[in-house]
C-alpha cells in the first residue's frame, strides 16, 4: 500500500517537473521570438516599387506612409495598399513583405484616355471617367480633346460629375474601340454638344457624325474602312454614320 502511494507521488512529481520544464521552454521560446521580431533584423531597410512610369518613386513612398527603420511587422499591408490607391495616378496596388526587411509595391497606373477643357483648364480622365490630373495648359496633344461636356464638379482622383456623363461613357466606348482598331491616334477631337450625335474630328480635317446609341465597335470598324478608301486630298469631308445601313460621305457645308 505504502509502495503504491510512493509510486503515485513519484509519478506526480515527474509530471510536475515535465510541465514546469515545458512552461519554461515555452516562455524562453516566446521571449526569443519577441526579441528576434523586435530586433534590428526586421526593421524596414528596403522598399521596392515596380510598375510606376508617371508616378515618381518618392511619391509612391510618401503616399504609402512607410517609414524606414521601423519594425516591418508593425505595418498593415491592406492599409498601405489603401493609401497608395488614393493617389490619382494609381489605379491599383499590390503590397507584400519580403523578410527580413523589405516591402515590395507593385502598382498599375491609370491610363490617360482623353482631355476635357473646363474653365480655362484641362482635365485629364481615364476610361472610368476618373480625374487623373488638371493642367493649365493643353500639354498632351496626342490625346483626344472632348468638347461639350457640361461639368458640374471635379475632384482629382474621383469620377467626374457632369450633366452628360452618359455621353462621356459613350465616347469612352468609341475611344476603346478605336484603340482596338488602331485608329485612336487619328482622332484629334470629339464634340458631344448635340443631343444624340457625336462629332469626331480626324487629324486630317475629316469629320464623322455618329449616333450615341450606335454600336461603337461596328461604327469604328466601318469608319476605318471608309477612311482607308479616302485619299489624302479628301480633307473637306463629312462622313455621316448616324443611320445604320445608310452611311454617306459628303463635302462640308461652309
Q: Give one DSSP letter per residue of 137-151, joined into a string.
A: S---TTSEEEE---E
List 252's β-bridge partners, or say none. none
Exposed, middle or buried by CB within 10 Å (0-12, 13-18, 19+), for 78?
exposed
CB-count exposure of residue 23 (10 Å: 0-12, 13-18, 19+): exposed
pTM: 0.79
**Domain boundary assignment for the chain:** 40-109, 114-251
Give tens-digit pLDDT for 82-129.
Answer: 999 999 999 999 999 998 899 999 999 999 999 999 999 999 999 999
- Nearest CA to 211 among 203, 223, 199? 199
Specify the pLDDT at position 36: 57
Question: Pairing relation of β-strands 197-202 and 151-153?
Answer: unpaired
Q: Which CATH architecture has domain 40-109?
A: Roll (3.10)
Q: What's residue 180's pLDDT?
A: 93
Q: What is the pLDDT of residue 204?
A: 80
Q: In whole angstroms, what is the distance from residue 254 CA to residue 32 CA?
A: 86
Who has greater pLDDT, 210 or 9? 210
Between residues 38 and 42, which one has the greater pLDDT? 42
Q: Is-contact 248 240, C-beta < 8 A? A: yes
Domain 114-251 indexed as CATH 3.30.450: no
Task: Please write the tens of the pLDDT for every residue from 121-140.
Answer: 999 999 999 999 999 988 77
Residue position matching grid coordinates 521596392: 48
pLDDT of residue 28: 57
HSE (side-chain half, CA atoms, 13 Å) at 151: 20
CB atoms within 10 A of CB 39: 11
Amino acid at each position: 500500500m505504502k509502495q503504491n502511494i510512493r509510486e503515485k507521488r513519484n509519478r506526480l512529481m515527474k509530471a510536475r517537473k515535465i510541465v514546469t520544464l515545458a512552461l519554461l521552454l515555452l516562455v524562453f521560446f516566446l521571449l526569443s521570438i519577441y526579441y528576434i521580431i523586435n530586433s534590428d533584423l526586421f526593421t524596414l531597410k528596403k522598399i521596392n516599387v515596380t510598375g510606376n512610369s508617371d508616378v515618381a518613386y518618392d511619391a509612391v513612398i510618401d503616399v504609402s506612409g512607410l517609414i524606414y527603420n521601423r519594425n516591418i511587422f508593425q505595418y498593415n499591408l491592406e492599409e498601405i495598399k489603401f493609401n497608395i490607391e488614393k493617389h490619382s495616378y494609381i489605379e491599383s496596388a499590390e503590397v507584400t513583405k519580403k523578410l527580413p526587411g523589405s516591402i515590395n509595391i507593385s502598382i498599375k497606373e491609370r491610363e490617360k484616355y482623353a482631355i476635357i477643357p473646363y474653365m480655362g483648364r484641362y482635365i485629364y480622365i481615364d476610361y472610368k471617367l476618373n480625374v487623373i490630373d488638371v493642367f493649365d495648359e493643353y500639354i498632351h496633344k496626342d490625346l483626344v480633346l472632348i468638347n461639350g461636356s457640361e461639368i458640374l464638379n471635379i475632384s482629382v482622383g474621383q469620377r467626374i460629375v457632369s450633366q452628360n456623363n452618359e455621353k462621356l461613357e459613350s465616347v469612352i466606348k468609341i475611344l476603346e474601340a478605336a484603340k482596338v482598331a488602331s485608329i485612336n491616334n487619328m482622332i484629334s477631337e470629339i464634340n458631344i454638344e448635340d443631343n444624340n450625335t457625336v462629332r469626331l474630328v480626324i487629324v486630317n480635317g475629316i469629320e464623322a457624325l455618329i449616333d450615341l446609341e450606335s454600336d461603337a465597335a461596328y461604327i469604328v470598324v466601318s469608319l476605318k474602312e471608309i477612311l482607308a478608301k479616302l485619299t489624302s486630298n479628301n480633307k473637306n469631308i463629312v462622313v455621316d454614320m448616324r443611320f445604320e445601313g445608310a452611311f454617306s460621305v459628303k463635302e462640308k457645308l461652309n
